[in-house]
Structure 1
Amino acid sequence: MNSKLALAGCLIGAVLGTGTAQAAGPYPDKPVRIVVPYPAGGSTDILTRLLAKGLNKRWGQAVVVDNRGGASGIIGTEVVARADPDGYTLLMNGNGPHTINVSLFDKLPYDPVRDFVPIVRGMTIPLLMVAPANAPYNDVKSFIAWAKANKSTANYCSIGPGSPSHLAGELFKSMAGLPQLTHVPYKGSGPAIMDTIAGTCNVMFDAALSSGPHVKNRKLKLLAIGTEQRDPSWPDTPTVAESGLPGFSAYTWSALFAPAGTPPAIVKKIQQDADAVLRSPELKAALVEQGAQAGGGSSEELARFVDTEIAKWGKVIKDGHITMN
């Protein structure tokens, strides 16, 4: 008798729960949180705040940016992986935590594919291949020739081990056939740039946001762009791919994700509205000032892109015997 009563109670609860869900208003009917796994002030944070402002206008709900930096982006990414899949906690992630860490670390508290639903690409920031202003090479081909002739001393610098800057250098080193090109890691972009300006570093890949101003004031020489196509901000500068290394691409990016299990209708709603905001002239112009290009596109496109990035950088990390453990 007691088991029958318990079953009846469960059935009544299920019916009431269904009724409550159906009675809820359209998404979103309360504030939405977007977690950024980096400290405030960086490019991903700036993008997220611009997107949050646009979504707030479209939804009439507060869209709050929650910075959870630390541990190579792992802390903030895990927060969203464990969040309720209801569309009210989202993640604006970068390529490091989402497609590089999975190969850099033996163990992660999240799986970038299993634990997240892709929503939309947020932005792309080109990596600029820069050199000292007085370097005896002016493009990719002449640098490769110089590095081969000076293989005992030739180097490339990065903003830190396992960073997109480091992996771009490793990819270039491999594709250019420069096995003795020495990697010199720094703790951040600032000191790496200063030593490149000084001539200690022969070349480095760095985000346009930080190295671009030094190119414009002629303290750094721009050899090439790491994106697949030429960047509108540097229309006369060729890509690395068209400079003799076809297939090369290396850049940083950000994209919006939700916890796995988020209802497809909510994912679609977020994707459509975020895509509209990202394509607005105001947001595009604001990102150009940061040296970035606005993203957009479908969830399916982002899912394919993530798979490609994981495989690509996984190979670079494996071939270069790179680890962060």
Structure 2
Amino acid sequence: MMQACGVGRRSVGLGIAAAALAAGSGARRVQAQPAAGGAFPERPVRLIVPYPPGGPTDLVMRAFAEAAQKPLGQPIVVENRSGAAGTMGGQLLATGARPDGYTIAQMPITVLRHRFLSARPVFDPRTDFTWIIQLAGYQFGVVVRADAPWRTFQEFLDHAKANPGAIEYGSPGVGSSLHITMTQIAEMKGIDWLHVPFRGTAASTNALLGGQIAAVAGSIDAGTVGPDGPMRALVSWGAQRHRRLPDLPTLREVGIDLVSDSPYGIAGPKGMDPGVVRVLHDAFKAAIDDPGVRSLLERYDMPVLYLNSADYAAAVLRQIETEERLLARLGLRPE
């Protein structure tokens, strides 16, 4: 879970999320027999990915979908719905999706902040979802262009402090873990930099490469920040160093006592049949061990943080309490 975060210079309402219990464990090929009759699944399952195509989340979730559809016995069709810091999937689940298991969504931790960051929350993350499975977590960092003048994160911080308001960095949106943590770093170091929200990491990366912003806070793609890559990673935010970038220091190693390993999983609308939840859980649980999934998780330094349905729902409730206290302390609650 995200152990430390911070606020941004701007606050905007998000849109999403909620919580409800369900059961699950074991990975086997089986069809559920819902109380309403009929086997599940009998047709393709729609998986909402709340980020645009081409970014780390989209690529990883497409790999999960491809692997999970094998034990499920039906296709899993990915639908991208970007915006609102990754909360659009939760919004769609809570405002019209039927609880039949045929519409599910990837749920980042920003879903849990919705009711605390919006003056008019669409739903309550404690009650409006069926939590199916926690899969993995994001471990983030700060990336600049390969030709940027900063070779270390300390040089980047020194430049930002000496030039208030001159550094613009991109993130997936206001209220995201990336935005919050970057602002916490700024508060700790006495820095004034400008947050530029995008619809996803792919969009912010394009802006970075085009010279429109100075840095990106996001997942670190080990394939693009190497010696011959177009970007350079300055720092990672995990408790340990990036598995494929062992020379990249963590925030703690550069004197900033923060860790961000924001978890994510799969949920559906509230009121789902426990048998349907079990089938979906088992399919995605099996997908965790798929070689293609594991390769992408390693590439983007996303640790497996598996929890079954009941444990995931309980962890969500605990994290909601943590987020409420954190956002109140940082003064991000809307008036």
Q: Is the pair's TM-score, using the shorter chain for normalization, greater than 0.5?
A: yes
Deviation at 1:226, TM superposition (A): 1.0
Deviation at 1:284, TM superposition (A): 0.7
Task: Report the residue type matching 2:277 in the other structure.
Answer: V
Q: Which residue of 2 aligns with 1:69?
A: 82
Q: Percent identity?
A: 24
Q: Of residues 273, 276, 283 in structure 1, which corresponds to 2:293?
A: 283
Q: Tell me, yes or no, if the aligned pair for 1:283 and 1:294 is still in contact at 8 Å.
A: no
Q: Which residue of 2 aligns with 1:17?
A: none
Q: Tell me, yes or no, if the aligned pair for 2:108 and 2:264 is still in contact at 8 Å.
A: yes
Query: Which 5+ residue runs of structure 1 have no aligned equivalent?
Result: 1-19
Q: Which residue of 2 aligns with 1:88?
A: 102
Q: Tell me, yes or no, if the aligned pair for 2:109 and 2:264 is still in contact at 8 Å.
A: yes
Residue-by-residue CA offset, 1:175-234 (whole Å, 9 max, x unaligned): xx2244333426551365348x79x74x6523214x861454366553321123322122
Work out the CA distance in 2 between the residues paired with 1:67 and 1:315: 31
Deviation at 1:298, TM superposition (A): 2.0
SS of 1:76 mapped into structure 2 = helix
Q: Which residue of 1 aligns with 2:22?
A: none
Q: Of residues 97, 107, 112 in structure 2, which corresponds to 1:99?
A: 112
Deviation at 1:316, TM superposition (A): 5.4
The two structures have a TM-score, normalised by structure 2, of: 0.70
Q: Of residues 19, 24, 27 in structure 1, which corresponds to 2:40?
A: 27
Work out the CA distance in 1 between the residues paired with 2:317 and 2:334: 21
Work out the CA distance in 2 between the residues paired with 1:21 and 1:192: 47
Task: Report the residue type matching 2:98 in the other structure.
Answer: D
Q: Which residue of 2 aligns with 1:233?
A: 244
Q: Which residue of 2 aligns with 1:205?
A: 217
Q: Which residue of 2 aligns with 1:272?
A: 282
SS of 2:189 mapped into structure 1 = coil
Q: Of residues 62, 66, 69 in structure 2, which corresponds to 1:56?
A: 69
Q: Which residue of 1 aligns with 2:204?
A: 189
Pairing 1:37–2:50 present: yes
Distance 1:220 1:30, change over 3 A: closer
Distance 1:139 1:79, change over 3 A: closer
Distance 1:319 1:288, change over 3 A: same
Task: Report the residue type matching 2:204 in the other structure.
Answer: S
Q: Tell me, yes or no, if the aligned pair for 2:65 and 2:78 is still in contact at 8 Å.
A: yes
Q: Of residues 111, 123, 127 in structure 2, which corresponds to 1:114?
A: 127
Residue-by-residue CA offset, 1:63-102 (whole Å, 9 max, x unaligned): 2223333454454322212322222221112233x13433
SS of 2:241 mapped into structure 1 = coil
SS of 1:50 mapped into structure 2 = helix
SS of 1:250 mapped into structure 2 = coil
Q: Tell me, yes or no, if the aligned pair for 1:162 and 1:323 is still in contact at 8 Å.
A: no
Q: Which residue of 1 aligns with 2:256?
A: 245
The two structures have a TM-score, normalised by structure 1, of: 0.72
Structure number with the higher helix fraction is 1
Pairing 1:158–2:170 present: yes
Q: Tell me, yes or no, if the aligned pair for 2:242 and 2:301 is still in contact at 8 Å.
A: no
Q: Which residue of 1 aligns with 2:26?
A: none
Q: Tell me, yes or no, if the aligned pair for 2:85 and 2:176 is still in contact at 8 Å.
A: no
Task: Report the residue type matching 1:234 in the other structure.
Answer: L
Q: Tell me, yes or no, if the aligned pair for 2:243 and 2:301 is still in contact at 8 Å.
A: no
217-226 or 103-112, which deviates more: 217-226
Task: Report the residue type matching 1:303 in the other structure.
Answer: A
Q: Tell me, yes or no, if the aligned pair for 2:133 and 2:308 is still in contact at 8 Å.
A: yes
Distance 1:194 1:225, change over 3 A: same
Work out the CA distance in 1 between the residues paired with 2:227 and 2:314: 35
Distance 1:27 1:168, change over 3 A: same
Q: Which residue of 2 aligns with 1:299?
A: 309
Work out the CA distance in 2 between the residues paired with 1:33 and 1:263: 17
SS of 1:213 mapped into structure 2 = coil
SS of 2:138 mapped into structure 1 = strand
Q: In terms of Rg, which structure is larger?
A: 1
SS of 1:230 mapped into structure 2 = coil
CA RMSD of aligned residues (A): 3.7
SS of 2:65 mapped into structure 1 = helix
Deviation at 1:151, TM superposition (A): 7.2
Distance 1:216 1:80, change over 3 A: farther
Q: Of residues 273, 280, 284 in structure 2, which corresponds to 1:263?
A: 273
Work out the CA distance in 2 between the residues paired with 1:84 and 1:180: 46
